[in-house]
Amino acid sequence: MKVAILGYGKMGKEIEKIILKRKYKILIKTNSKSQIDINKLKKCDLAFEFTNPDSAFGNIQLCLKNKVSVVSGTTGWKIRKKTIQDICEKNKVSFLHGSNFSTGINLIKNIIPEINLFAKNNNDFSISIKEKHHKYKLDSPSGTAIDLKNILKNKNIKIESERNSKKEIGFHEITIKSKEETIKIQHQANERYLFALGAVKYGEKIKHKTGYFNLDLKKIF
């Protein structure tokens, strides 16, 4: 497989390690859209887009229009789902967006329908979300926390965000609380590698598919 890494920051470098271990070829590795070699891009099977909110959509369009499928983990930008779907269908490529590529977080997302059912029948419980990341993370609250809130289908849920640490990779916690008891569901990322590994694994699954995908394990696998 031939790949492009768009966004050669911490995530891009972790993805590079995995790509090389798998003996795939990296044709493009850049932080700048202006440095993307279109001829090289056209030879790629898959692009990993982990840049910033200002660059994401332009990078994604460029790849898809050149028939290159994309895995993007950039958060904080307005996802133009219909536009991306149309480009994917026209060019027979795929796009996968995820705020968090760890298996643990996506397992939690699959548990949430049970929490929704529980909350619906127990009005005396309140639900809150807490997330912590390193102080250099640009968006707050995190895309993962927003995703969790949306899946929980409760507009009144408050998200508490912390950006104090230099080393915090990612922590998310859902708290379900009543006067009598407290239930906590936590996920702590210990290494950035787990996000990169997830992104590569999902990319391998969708590169020959057509369409727009979220991190729905049932649809991807």
Global pTM? 0.80
Q: Which fold has domain 2-100+194-220?
A: Rossmann fold (3.40.50)
CATH of domain 103-190: 3.30.360.10
Task: Give the C-alpha separation, 109 to 87, whole Å.
Answer: 28
Annotated catalytic residue within 13, 43, 67, 137 = 137
HEC-encoded secondary structure of 141-158: CCHHHHHHHHHHCCCCCE
Residue 153 pLDDT: 87
**What does each of the 221 residues of the chain score in pLDDT, given as a tens digit?**
999 999 998 899 999 999 999 999 999 999 876 789 999 999 999 999 999 888 999 999 999 999 999 999 988 777 788 999 999 999 999 999 988 899 899 889 988 988 888 887 777 889 999 999 999 888 899 989 999 999 998 888 999 999 999 889 999 999 999 889 999 999 999 998 999 999 999 999 999 899 999 877 565 55
Annotated catalytic residue within 97, 109, 132, 133 = 133
Amino acid at 86: D
Residue 155 pLDDT: 84
Looking at the DSSP assignment, which residues form a beta bridge with residue 49? 6, 72
Residue 119 pLDDT: 80
Contacts 24+ apart (CB under 8 A), 144-151: 144/99, 144/100, 144/105, 144/170, 144/172, 145/172, 146/99, 147/99, 147/100, 147/109, 148/108, 148/109, 148/112, 148/172, 148/174, 151/109, 151/112
Is 137 in the active site? yes
User: Which residue ranges make up each domain of the chain?
Assistant: 2-100+194-220, 103-190
